[in-house]
Chain A
């Protein structure tokens, strides 16, 4: 970790390396917008359940819900007020994940992106993990084709990254290959089920457990391949990649020293 001495009259930390801290009105506005979006999500669900048109059309309702959930998580990332290093590393990881997805597009179900997203969330935190996942879907679909599935893929991979961050809290940031591999494996199925949810809500009638199970059964082999691929990628690549990410984090970390503190360090 690099320590930087700060004299009187120098830039405040929030003005320099770390980027601006969302203080005061901006932070409050972002938080208010986030709470409003969460409220809107519940309201949309309520209207759908109460059969209020057009919210009772689950194709529209689910799309609205997915977009609102993305807004909530994007705003959460925005509230954190990350600096240049986080912004840059998220962009770079999203580019690697998108490249991996495009390269492996020929093999249905095999997605190296999921493992990378879970690992990013584990090392960089929930918000960054979410953003890496969401951006991988957004970027790779420029080449693989955007469609009504894009918001759902963003939600699926975004939540995978977010869950990686939560898992890291459980192990206090220490890299554990097996739990990570298991989480990536579980996300192989969860991701498929989230995508099936979109398909089921929008284009299948009637909306019953039987029809949802039938939809999931149709994609079972793809989901299994996805989960197995994630497990294999995680077991082989987890340690070296996690070390590289940790090294990056450490290299870019710094702490401001107060007046005279540098003499004591």
Chain B
């Protein structure tokens, strides 16, 4: 039943957006003007395309995020049985987290966390 409801919600959200967009396209006025189609960059004519090689300093953060996000995926099942495992859970996760913190310390040391 839950999966059916999830599927329903996905369909419902798509339908909701589609209906809103269709209604607004239907009742809103439409006039053509060549200037309207330009990208809005504060009135200055657009120079070239935006889809160029882009220096994004974010990719290092994205890689680090992947590492830590996978860690969260591993930790979630562990977190539900901490109370059953007791001290074993603590020792196990201590090892796991120490490796992670080592990784974070390495990235910190290599100045990957600095914004350039």
* A and B physically associate: no
Interface residues of B, Cβ cutoff 8 Å to A: none
